DNA sequence: TCCTTCCATCGATGATTGTCGATGTAACGT
DNA sequence: ACGTTACATCGACAATCATCGATGGAAGGA
């Protein structure tokens, strides 16, 4: 079972980090530090899963969307939920987003932990 | 009095955002999505304030450090705490970091709010 | 078997960004 | 007034990145 790193870096009182940790952390922040990828994540956040074709509405070419999905995938922020025919459905990886929030000093929200563990529905 | 935007974008259940909000949010994420700037923020997180000269130990030229400080300053993540002679002391802006954590779904930590209001010491 | 659709990968290109040396500016000491 | 120190700004350059058209592969339908 792979455990996500839970490093705090930027909140008041955060302990000093090592150079390698800055590298890996900033790499994951780079993944969301783009308007298009933020929009993709935002859409996935409000659905269980979304088809790739749904992102056509972002007004970018198909290869570009595919590129951004790859970046987010390699950062561990999203993953392929399932395929249906030639349609790919992506889903958010809440633990990964939460790990980034934690790095910035945000406390994990109890509902989110629950939602992650059970599989659905906070609120 | 300027109020910091408290937008949630990436946690499960986050509401859909507007294009402009993706722009401004990603702009602030870009600020911390760099190893050097992350190291700067990390150092400021463990001190009340730090002299610019202290960042020489990062192994970069003085203009480069100055550039990164500017990026962080314009993102609102840090600010000049005070000047003493020709020495500049920077300090973290905890509310700004917290706003980013909130955007990722992290709940604000009560201690941090306290620390911000009082001026010191969580834990 | 052939065609179509959905998505990934490749290669190229223009834009953004991190980095540095050179220069400017403000404050201090002599 | 002069030199020195700390920091900012400018200009240049190399590296990274977002974007697109072209191509490839997999799955389904006729």
Size of interface A-B (CB pairs under 8 A): 172
**What rounded mean pLDDT belongs to chain A?**
88
The dihedral of CA B52, B57, B58, B60: what is its sign?
positive
B19 touches strand C (CB under 7 A): no
Nearest nucleotide relative to A52: CA against C1': C7
Hey, how many other C-beta atoms are within 10 angstroms of the C-beta on A31?
A: 24
Rg (CA), chain A: 15
pLDDT at B115 over 90: no
**What rounded mean pLDDT belongs to chain B?**
88
Determine whether domain B19-93 maps to CATH 1.10.260.40: no
Task: Kindly state the greatest CA–CA separation across chain B.
Answer: 50
CATH ID of A19-117, from 1.10.287.3510, 3.60.15.10, 1.10.10.10, 1.10.600.10: 1.10.10.10
**CA nearest to B38, candidates B29, B49, B27:** B29
pLDDT at A36 over 90: yes
Q: In the predicted model, what is the mean pLDDT of residues A29-37?
A: 98
Summarised one tens digit per residue, pLDDT across range A55-83 is 999 999 999 999 999 999 999 999 999 99
Intra-chain end-to-end CA distance of chain B, in Å: 29
**Rounded Cα–Cα distance for residues B94 and B62 (Å):** 25
């Amino acid at each position: 079972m792979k455990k996500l790193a839970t490093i705090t870096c930027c909140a008041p009182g955060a302990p000093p980090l090592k150079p390698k940790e800055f590298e890996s952390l900033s790499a994951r922040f780079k993944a969301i530090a783009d308007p298009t990828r933020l929009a993709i994540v935002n859409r996935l956040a409000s659905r269980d899963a979304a088809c790739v074709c749904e992102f056509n509405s972002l007004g970018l070419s198909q290869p570009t969307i595919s590129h951004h999905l790859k970046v987010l995938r390699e950062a561990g922020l999203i993953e392929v939920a399932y395929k249906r025919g030639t349609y790919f459905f992506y889903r958010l990886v809440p633990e990964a987003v939460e790990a980034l929030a934690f790095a910035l000093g945000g406390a994990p929200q109890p509902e989110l932990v629950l939602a992650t563990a059970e599989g659905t529905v906070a609120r």
